[in-house]
Structure 1
Amino acid sequence: MKKTRLFLLLYIVITMTLVNLQTGLAFNKTQIPLHIEIGLFYEGTAKSTVHLKSINGFEIGKFSGDHFDTILNLYEPKEIILRKDSYYIGTGGSFLEYTGPISNGMTNINLQGPYHVQISNGFNNRQDAEHLIDSLSFMEDKAYLVYENGWKVFTGLYTDPEEAGIKAAEIQSISGETTKIITPSLTRVQVLDLFGKPIFMFDSNEDIYFRGFQDKANNTIVNIDGKNYRGAVTAKRMSNSDMSIVNKLLLEEYLYGVVPREMPASWSIEALKAQAVVARGYAVSNINRWRSVGFDLCNTTRSQVYGGYDDEHPNSNRAVSDTASRVLTHNGKLVNAFYHANSGGHTENSENVWSQPIPYILGVYDEFSLNAPNSTWTEVLTKNEVRDMLEKNNVFVGEVNNIKVTSVSENGRVLELTIYGTSGTEVLIKENSRRIFGLRSTWFTVDGAENPTNDLHDIMVKNTTNNVNKIELHNKSIISANGVTKISNPSNIKIYNGKNYRSTETISSKPADTFVFRGKGFGHGLGMSQHGARKMAEEGYNYIEILSHYYTGVKVE
């Protein structure tokens, strides 16, 4: 009996150990950050000037971990200008950076410059700096607060050192305070009212943020160049550039602005919940991807499309809130949940699109994506268009003679597309085959010069004037007593004219100098098909079932 019990105990221990090895460790939710930073304007879209509005004024401060520490309240004005420390011309809230020649003694009253005068030394606290400003109220050029390695007091937007030097001597003579000329900075940001008068300045390396005071719903909303965003905003100057404008906000509030931009908010709630979970997982998996330029993710398809507060919708907000903090995991590790618009009927293995196999991104049959937008498509390109597209991508084969799909994956997508030209042959691998030609997916065939199509079927139709028109049947539908049916095989269509049946006419209507690409799906085909998720939700599947269909061996945690 004791031996039996010992054997049973050993069996349970071994079984539990194997289960633990198979399921992996539990997901550590500390990987999910509370806040995230999103680049709104950066690189080619970086700003020299940006307008901020808030209906209740601004809190200016710094983040200590996830806590916002206010360093300055700005109740008035409720609209301000942030701009880099440079030369500007303009009035009435409209300022343009001036990049023309600067000569000594320029007297254009609309020209403002990046030279300033510092009055006194630095201060340990804001109150002492403000006390000095109060004592200098007699000055024509009003003094203002600056946060650069502590608190300072500056005055002026002078155009050259000589003008700043004259002002510095004048201020020192009248006030008795020491003064110093401040030269232009590659990291300084000016804060002005709409009349162009300085209110505040800061060094962008100090990570100073602006946020609106809370409204009645406890939201902190900032309007940035006419568009509203939750959370806080900062301007960061990177390597002699204009300002990168960055929105820092709660991760869940960021998703409020992502989900309705990635999936229509009118779709079924379970599809929206699935979108919320994968968008959250993508954000967390790719956090810090853009850190080298000052933020975590951007607001375009290069990360996820983010539209801010104005694009939020009650349906998608509910989907985010109902799935709060939930992500997909595989063996206890966070899933980088790739998704796309339409699989075309079958998703793909990760290694057949990119390079590395990912255990939870495996191709699955996806009938839910059929008969949806872009489940099938056709693109026609001329030989000249093909050549131009290739050369724009540094592929030179001369005149293009033919294009052939020379290798496909087990799921049907193109692995190799061979271009035959008068000057050589080029093989486009995987995603390059669709990227270069602007195709909707890599699941396609090509009717080339040496394999012209013979399946373009046309109906010859006489109109009221006895003129004959041709109607191509490919991708068309037929209305009958049984409903609407999409034509899948044009060669098997019979037309009844009331007396007898006639077959459709088969013609080779592809011009000799064109290539016809016939494809399925839209996007890379990895992970969740959004149109498939919509169909599944409409058929009664919940978001966990939707995600389990598209990702292999995953859990929602």
Structure 2
Amino acid sequence: MTMIAVCALWGMLFSVLLAEPVQAADLIRALMFQEAQRVLITSGRGLVRQFPDGAEQVMTTPVVVTQLDGGMTLNGARAASDMVKVRGRDDDLIITVAETPVSDQPQDRLSDKVSDAAGSAVPPAELGPPPMGALRGPAPLHTLVLAGAVQVIRRGKSLMVINEVDLEEYVKGVVPSEMSSGWHLEALKAQAVAARTYALYQRMMNAGRDYDVVAGVQDQVYRGRRGVDERVQQAVEATRGVVLMHQNAPVFAAFSSTAAGPTEDAINVWSKDLPYLKGVECPFDANSPYYRWRAELSLQDLENNLRRQGIAVGTIASVTPFSFSRAGRVGRLRILHSEGELILRGTDFRRVVGYTAVRSTQFEVQSVGRTIVLAGRGSGHAVGLCQWGAKELAELGYSFAVILTYYFPGTEFNNTRFGAQAPSSTP
């Protein structure tokens, strides 16, 4: 069978699966921890162990899984396999783990921020250690309350902890981690649909992997039951099963905090040339605390950071923008140094310096001695949904459907009852 035929069959399959709103039975596998050594699982009403053949065993005590060279133990006895799956009898699971997080430094992905209680966009590092674990050094215990089931899988000398959870329960856990629940309900609905759509896209793309999504900044932040309040539940229930589609498949529903100008083409960030991820005007996010920002960086620190990343560089003389994207963001930087010239992508510059220091690739560079000063705008990659733009549009009276189809042009919903005229690019 040719590759074209295989792709056509996959397209037909997802057309059938998503022709109607997603059913509640759909499951998402979220990677919660990936370097655990010991996992404690409890539940208020007892546990049930699930076996690959469908058999179940009621557990009358908490479950403790420990990594062991060449295997793992279950409540002190050597486990017969490298996978243990447990669910609560009639209640949520409580998972306690000490480990490093799924990512031990912030990375730019769909959104490089989470929201505090006041609704301000702040990066994960400013909220303290992420819930998935501690940063480098001795790891304190971290506890999560999770719906669904938990799989503990041994991989090498570590344990992966994966939450297998109903899609809608998963979305409820993402929304308050990515947007303040105090924001307008239509903005929360837009975030819910984006989170649901992104999860289904990743499930489609990662069918052969142990998990669909990472519960941290690499994909979208998911903290189980944490932060799920009445408004979050209302937003998720109001959009239950609604997915943003293009050509009968869920879209890559990227989102970030603040565009501060036109949104960006996906191809300039991830080399994904997607027709629905082309830049649109976004004059709606001027109230974001990161609409403008400033950062200072010594050339010595930049040299050290580049070398730590394996990039050979001498003594830096100058750093200047070399090319720009259609939306006006820095595409590449030119770094002159004592050993020659280095051309660095703007997105790689952010990664090297740090995502919380260089909040976006929309900046100007000034040199002051051996220091460069960045005067920038926006926060995040600016591809797809602008969260602060969604907030403003919702407050102006636009529905979540209008907001999403504006930021993802050419898309439609799997439920035809949603649809409306797109907003003007002027508030």
Same fold by TM-score, threshold 0.5 exceeded? yes
Question: In the alignment, is the contact (CA less than 8 A) between 1:397 and 1:420 conserved in 2?
Answer: no
Cα distance per residue 1:293-319 (max 9 Å; x no partner) = 622212101121110013322211221
- Selected match of 1:204 from 82, 91, 112: 82
Counterpart CA distance in 2 for 1:422 and 1:547 is: 48
- Residue of structure 2 in register with 1:90 after alignment: none
- Tell me which residue corresponds to 1:485: none
The equivalent position to 1:28 in structure 2, one of 15, 19, 38, is: 15
CA contact (8 A) 2:67 2:157 kept: no
Percent identical pairs in the alignment equals 30
Gaps of 5+ in 1: 1-23, 87-185, 193-197, 215-219, 449-510
Q: Measure the CA separation in 2 of the matches of 1:292 and 1:332.
A: 21
**Deviating 4+ runs (over 4 angstroms):** 24-27, 288-293
Aligned to 1:55: 44
Aligned to 1:4: none
- Residues 311 and 371 of structure 1: is their aligned pair in 2 closer, same or farther, counting only changes over 3 Å? closer
Distance 1:426 1:337, change over 3 A: same
Residue matched to 2:128: none
Residue 397 of structure 1 deviates from its aligned partner by 2.8
Determine the C-alpha separation between the residues in 2 that align with 1:202 and 1:311.
37
Using the alignment, how far apart are the partners of 2:412 and 2:52 within structure 1?
A: 34
User: What do the CA deviations read for 1:160-188 (whole angstroms, capped 9, x no partner)?
Assistant: xxxxxxxxxxxxxxxxxxxxxxxxxx344
State the 1:409 CA deviation. 1.5
CA contact (8 A) 1:395 1:426 kept: no
Name 2:405's counterpart in structure 1.
548
Q: 2:73 aligns with which of 189, 194, 213?
A: 189
Displacement of 1:427: 0.4
Q: Which residue of 2 aligns with 1:486?
A: none
Task: Report the TM-score, using the length of structure 1 for normalisation.
Answer: 0.59
What are the superposed Cα offsets for residues 123-177 of structure 1, whole Å, 9 maximum, x if unpaired? xxxxxxxxxxxxxxxxxxxxxxxxxxxxxxxxxxxxxxxxxxxxxxxxxxxxxxx
Matches within 5 A, 1:98-497: 186-192=70-76, 201-205=79-83, 208-214=84-90, 220-225=91-96, 226-238=143-155, 240-287=156-203, 294-438=210-354, 439-448=358-367
Deviation of 1:526 (Å): 0.3
Tell me the distance in 2 between the aligned counterparts of 1:291 and 1:426: 39
Amino acid at match of 2:81: D
Relative to structure 1, the CA distance from residue 85 to residue 356 in structure 2 (aligned partners, 3 Å threshold; closer, same or farther) is closer
Residue 284 of structure 1 aligns to a residue in which SS?
Answer: helix
List runs of 5+ in structure 2 lacking aligned partners: 1-10, 97-142, 415-427
Cα distance, 1:242–1:433 mapped onto 2, change above 3 Å: closer
Counterpart of 2:193 in 1: which secondary structure?
helix
1:531 corresponds to 2:409: no
- Give the letter aligned to residue 234 of structure 1: Q
- TM-score between the two structures when normalised by the length of structure 2: 0.77
Contact 2:51–2:85, Cα closer than 8 Å, also in 1: yes
How much does 1:353 deviate? Answer: 2.1
Per the alignment, do residues 361 and 293 of structure 1 end up closer, same or farther by CA in structure 2, a change over 3 Å counting?
closer
> Structure 1: which amino acid aligns with 2:267?
E
The structure-2 alpha-carbon separation of the partners of 1:265 and 1:70, relative to structure 1 and needing over 3 Å to count, comes to: farther
Aligned-pair distance for 1:84?
3.1
Quote the RMSD (CA, aligned, Å): 2.3
Closer, same or farther: CA 279–272 of 1 in aligned 2, 3 Å: same
Separation (CA, whole Å) in 2 of partners of 1:51 and 1:397: 46
> CA separation of 1:356/1:291 partners in 2, compared to 1, >3 Å: closer, same or farther?
closer
SS at match of 1:286: helix
Q: Give the C-alpha shift of residue 436 in structure 1.
A: 1.7
Contact kept? 2:63, 2:74, Cα under 8 Å: no
- Indicate if the aligned counterparts of 2:258 and 2:389 stay in contact, CA closer than 8 A: yes
C-alpha distance in 1, partners of 2:265/2:217?
21
Matched, 1:82 2:65: yes
Task: Label 1:540 to 1:63 Cα distance change in 2 as closer, same or farther (>3 A).
Answer: farther
> 1:42-95 CA deviation, whole Å, 9 max, x = no partner?
1xxx2222111111111111467xxxx452112x22x33222346xxxxxxxxx
Give the conservation status (yes or no) of the 8 Å contact 1:434–1:442: yes
Deviation, structure 1 residue 524: 0.7
